[in-house]
Amino acid sequence: MISAQQIHKKFGKLEVLKDFNLEFDAGKSYALMGPNGSGKTTLIKIILGMVIPNTGEVFVQGESIKGNFAYRSNIGYMPQIGRYPDNIRIGQLFSMMQDMRPGIKEYDLDLIEAFGLDKIMDKPMHTLSGGTRQKVSAALAFMFRAEILILDEPTAGLDPMAVETLKNKIKKERDTGKLILITSHILSELDELTDHAIYINEGEVFFNDTINSLKDITGEEKFSTAIARLMEWSLKKKKKITDLSHV
């Protein structure tokens, strides 16, 4: 459903993604992991068209995203920190987003009700707490029943009750056969929500397989320890390379 082919991205001299290839298929849910600065967010932004790769191409549902914008109506995106115009009200924000997708008439309002946002529709955005904004972002991501959901640290800043609500929603959508892509630092959450693990290190895909096979390969029972092992390996590999260059 999403196919990144030979993506190469530099920010100045810093190479963020090197000859990067990845496939995301419909009906699967992916945990996107990697240390800080490994290129996760850049990858997401490239898929969304916010960052433009130096070379390579991304295909979403078989179409190249180069110069294309309509494909984004098939993506529900929840950013890490949702910042909105200060003076706009929640209700206006929702109707604005709906305005931008004139083709979609049926809205998924589950989260709005579950988070109680419908009761504060006329509150301006700048009066909201960080958590409430996050709820707004989540509600927006799911509102349009998009085929693809990209969630960047979805539970950060939410209260435990809201976290549960959101997780349940994600599971529900996953079970309807949508493509879900999550980045998170909370590993238990990823274990619970996703079936695929992608580990990115220094702009390259270090691991890409199901969580079950990850556990098999690392020989660990728990997801978190499996990931820890993975990180260890990736560090060794790096060390190996530096050792070699010394010799």
Partner 1 sequence: MFKLLKYSLYDIVKSRFAILYTIFMILVAVSIYQVSEDMSKVSLSLLNIMLMIVPLIAAVFATTHFFNNLEFTELMLAQPVKRRDVFLSQVLAVVIMLSAAIVIGFGIPMILWGADSTVLTLLGIGIALSVVFAGLAFLASVLTRDKAKAIGISLSFWIYFSLIYDGFVLYLIYSFADYPLEKTTLGLVFFNPVDLGRIIMLMQLDISALMGYTGAFFQNFFGSAKGILLSSAMMLLWMLWPLGVAMRVFRKKDF
| Residues at the interface with partner 1 (CB under 8 A) | 11, 45, 48-52, 69-73, 75, 77, 79, 81-88, 92, 96-97, 99-101
Residue of 201, 204, 198 whose CA lies nearest to 183: 198
Q: Cβ closer to partner 1: 35 or 49? A: 49
Contact in structure between 125 and 86 (CB atoms under 8 Å)? yes
| 131 SS3 class | helix
Residue carrying the six token digits 């709005």: 112
DSSP notation for 156-192: TT--HHHHHHHHHHHHHHHHTT-EEEEE-S-HHHHHH
- Parallel, antiparallel, or unpaired for β 204-210 and 196-201? antiparallel
> Count of CB atoms within 10 A of residue 168's CB?
12
Q: What is the H or E stretch that residue 148 is in?
A: strand 148-152
Q: Cβ closer to partner 1: 123 or 237? A: 123
The sign of the CA dihedral 110, 111, 112, 115 is: positive
Q: Cβ closer to partner 1: 76 or 191? A: 76
Q: Cβ closer to partner 1: 70 or 235? A: 70
Q: Cβ closer to partner 1: 87 or 176? A: 87
Whole-number minimum distance, CB 11 to partner 1, in Å? 7
Whole-number minimum distance, CB 154 to partner 1, in Å? 15
